[in-house]
Amino acid sequence: MFRKDLVKLLSEQPRSVSSLARALGLTRGDIEDDLRHAIRSAIAAGHQVEILPARCRTCGFTFDAQKLTKPGKCPACRGTRLFEPQIFIRPAAGGRGGNGSKTEERR
């Protein structure tokens, strides 16, 4: 039931790991593994997963979309002012089914 709650929250609006943790009363570390599994399950169910990667507020460096948690420092400028990655799940248009679905990166 917990992972279904994650998918539901991510279907409403783009959210960061921190905002999900706050909404569910957990820590960021507690939610990361369940979030990765929820994303895999959503893709298998035919949903479209969009991840807006973490970005440095100082120099604009964009991190890898596979990193779901907020990085500590920017490798380019060593700054610590970073935007967290945002995750959004679009429900499948035709119901359940895993054909033609893939993870998409928004920039």
51-90 confidence digits (pLDDT tens): 999 999 999 999 998 888 888 999 999 999 999 999 999 9
Say which residue the tokens 């119901």 belong to. 95
- Residue 101 inside a domain? The answer is no
Query: Domain for residue 24, yes or no?
Result: yes
Q: What is the domain extent for residue 53?
A: 2-93
Residue 78: inside a domain: yes
pLDDT interval class at 101 (50, 70, 90): very low
What sign does the CA torsion over 14, 18, 24, 28 have?
positive
The verdict on residue 22 lying in a domain is yes
**Residue 107 forms part of a structural domain:** no
The answer to the question of residue 103 being in a domain is no
Residue 106 lies in a domain: no
pTM recorded for the entire structure: 0.75
For the four alpha carbons of 13, 18, 22 and 25, in that order, the dihedral sign comes to positive
Alpha carbon distance 90, 74 (integer Å): 29
Number of domains in the chain: 1
